[in-house]
Amino acid sequence: MTLTEHFSFEELTRTGQSALQDANRREARDYIDKLKLVAEMLEAIRAKFGAVRVNSGFRGPAVNAAVGGSATSQHSKGEAADIVCPSTTVDELHRWIVVESGLKFGQCILEKPAGSAWVHISLGAPYRDPKKCGESLAFDGKTYTPKRY
């Protein structure tokens, strides 16, 4: 199923937990409208950097239970994606989204736990408290800190 021109429902609902793949997609059907809005943000990023790889999008109750994820995460509401762009660094990707893109994101997090790196981007208002929108953070695997440019 296509969400936007370049992004599919399958791509935004994939999970590394292969036994839970079907369950995750079943649970995701209630969130298609929001997944489309996430995909629209990814289209803007794709227009700038080319291919966008989605490491994780929707993570429903089945996946969250298995990986000990947060049920209050925007991922579990179909409102967030973890991405990398092969054509650029996560640092530049994060900087561009926060500083230049004009995207009305909820949170944009430069995530760099040991040995890995990606950018988390989520929907802004009305899906997230307006007071907590446009939030730019860095995460080192332990601590979230404000990331200013």
Indicate the length of the chain as a whole number.
149
Binding residues among 14-73 for Zn ion as defined by CB under 5 A = none
Between 8 and 55, whose beta carbon lies closer to Zn ion? 55
**Residue 79 in the binding site for Zn ion (CB under 5 A):** no
Both tokens of 46, joined, read 């794709």
Nearer to Zn ion, 5 or 142 (CB): 142
For Zn ion, the binding residue among 13, 82, 83, 110 (CB under 5 A) is: 82
Kindly indicate which of the ranges 3-11, 31-39, 79-87, 130-138 contains the residues binding Zn ion, using the contact rule CB under 5 A. Answer: 79-87
Tokens of 47: 């227009």
| Residue ranges in 97-126 that form contacts with Zn ion under rule CB under 5 A | 120
Minimum Å gap between C-beta 2 and Zn ion is 23
- Name the residue among 91, 133, 134, 84 with its Cα closest to residue 110: 91
With left for phi above 0 and alpha for psi between -120 and 50, is residue 44 left, alpha or beta?
alpha
Cα separation of 139 and 28, whole Å?
Answer: 27
Q: What is the DSSP letter of 141?
A: S
Q: How many chain residues interact with Zn ion (CB under 5 A)?
A: 2
Site of interaction with Zn ion (CB under 5 A)? 82, 120
